[in-house]
Amino acid sequence: MKSSPIRCVIMRGGTSKALFLREGDLPRDPALRHQVILALFGSPDRRQIDGLGGADPLTSKLAIIGPPRKPDVDIDYTFAQVEIAEPVVDLRSLCGNISSAVGHYAVYEGLVRAVEPVTVVRAYNTNLDRVLRIEVPVCDGKPVDTGDYAIPGVPGTGARIQLDLGDTAGGATGRLLPTGSPVDRLPVEGLGTLEVSLVDIGNAHVFVRAADVGMRGDESPDEIDRSPALLERLERIRSAAAFRMGMISAPSRGKAESPATPIIGVVSPPKDYPRYLGEGQVRAAEVDVVSRLMYMQVTHKTYAGTSTACTGVAAHVPGTVVHEVLRPEARGAVALRIGHPAGVIETESQVEFGPEGPKVLRATLGRTARRLMEGYAFVPARVCAEAPHA
């Protein structure tokens, strides 16, 4: 039996990388589709040596692109986080970095009519049942790759793609503030009760003060990941938050039922610290808040796109722990500068307050994207022969 080819594009979006597949090229049967995706990535295997995954959560991502099923949108887009060491394809989250590449992909593939100098792509995200607005620089009918926009954690510069996640508020839990409160007292097994902020835009998030979990706030990813006790502490908080938001069946089921979300952000006031990727320091004067993210039970080496938008929105809501640790003069400002391990990322947010609570008008971030490869990936014949069918 021969391996089966499947059309594939590999793209970098922001600080992440993903396989892009067409919906029509995947099996309709859910169980077989699941096995095909795992085989393409080489999962489960910590090295993903027999597939196209990069053995890192930031490179084990998938975008499935399909025709629009809703009016006033250009394409359908499903994001999947593919586990590395477990046979899991998580469809419950969204990646802002890869979402920026979705716009680039749609223009390049001719799925939307190219308009110069900027083509607006409206992508319906099936994960959150929300529409993303992606502004793609275009020249001669194709996306522009070159430019002067730099992203810490990505070599060189590129053309800035603007992604607005404002419509994703409440996509995972139904409300921007899932409990209706900007701060919650969260019981966590073995840790007692902690003050946290639960915020849902881009993805569901839980924010906690660095001081409350025994951290300085400026630790490097390696420093955090070398501490099993700290990793366990943060995962317990994340799982307790997932249960409070109704995302899992019990606080002990976080990793099993929702390994990617909520994302946990550990926030602290501005400070100087060494850059994790590259040379020099991130200076306190360059940032309005410092944050470290846990994603898929390891420390994010930069900062997730959805987390950028969510942190910016949380900073606008008085009472959240993000608003509390923020540089005082940044409170109420449209732009926010977030210090992450590799540098600084900026977001622009607008939030209005009414009788029904805060409403997000705008939640943006700038990214770059690049098409890296197009061709065929090969699915081992044994996958189709052995896959269970629903």
Quick: pLDDT tens for 346-359: 999 999 998 888 99
Phi, psi of 274 (to 5 degrees): -70, 145
CATH of 4-160+370-386, one of 3.30.70.1340, 2.60.40.1150, 3.10.310.10, 3.40.50.720: 3.10.310.10
Task: Indicate the pLDDT class of residue 313, thresholds 50, 70 and 90.
Answer: very high
What rounded mean pLDDT belongs to the chain?
Answer: 94
Structural contact between residues 265 and 277, judged by C-beta atoms closer than 8 angstroms? no
Task: Indicate the pLDDT class of residue 382, thresholds 50, 70 and 90.
Answer: confident
Q: Return the number of other C-beta atoms located less than 10 Å from residue 170's C-beta.
A: 17
As a whole number of angstroms, the distance between CA 316 and CA 280 comes to: 30
The domain segmentation of the chain, as residue ranges, is 4-160+370-386, 184-364
Task: Indicate the pLDDT class of residue 385, thresholds 50, 70 and 90.
Answer: low
- Name the pTM for this structure: 0.86
As a whole number of angstroms, the distance between CA 383 and CA 38 comes to: 9
Identify which has the larger pLDDT, 14 or 386.
Answer: 14
**Average pLDDT of span 309-328:** 96
The reported pLDDT for the residue numbered 390 is: 41
The reported pLDDT for the residue numbered 278 is: 79
Judge whether residue 155 has pLDDT over 80: yes
* C-alpha distances out from residue 354 to 180, 206, 331, 360, Å: 13, 23, 19, 11
For a pLDDT cut of 70, what percent of the chain falls above it? Answer: 98
pLDDT digits (tens, 9 = 90+) for 65-109: 999 999 999 999 999 999 999 999 999 889 999 999 999 999 999
The reported pLDDT for the residue numbered 31 is: 93
Same fold, 4-160+370-386 and 184-364: yes
**Average pLDDT of span 141-166:** 94
Task: Indicate the pLDDT class of residue 207, thresholds 50, 70 and 90.
Answer: very high
Judge whether residue 384 has pLDDT over 90: no
**Average pLDDT of span 155-184:** 95
**Average pLDDT of span 361-373:** 95
For a pLDDT cut of 90, what percent of the chain falls above it? Answer: 91
The reported pLDDT for the residue numbered 25 is: 96
**Average pLDDT of span 247-251:** 95
Q: Return the number of other C-beta atoms located less than 10 Å from residue 147's C-beta.
A: 14
As a whole number of angstroms, the distance between CA 231 and CA 216 comes to: 15
Q: Are strands 130-139 and 142-143 parallel, antiparallel or unpaired?
A: antiparallel
**Average pLDDT of span 362-388:** 88
Task: Indicate the pLDDT class of residue 1, thresholds 50, 70 and 90.
Answer: low
pLDDT digits (tens, 9 = 90+) for 36-52: 999 999 999 999 999 99
CATH class of domain segment(s) 184-364: alpha beta
Task: Indicate the pLDDT class of residue 387, thresholds 50, 70 and 90.
Answer: low
The reported pLDDT for the residue numbered 383 is: 85
Judge whether residue 231 has pLDDT over 50: yes
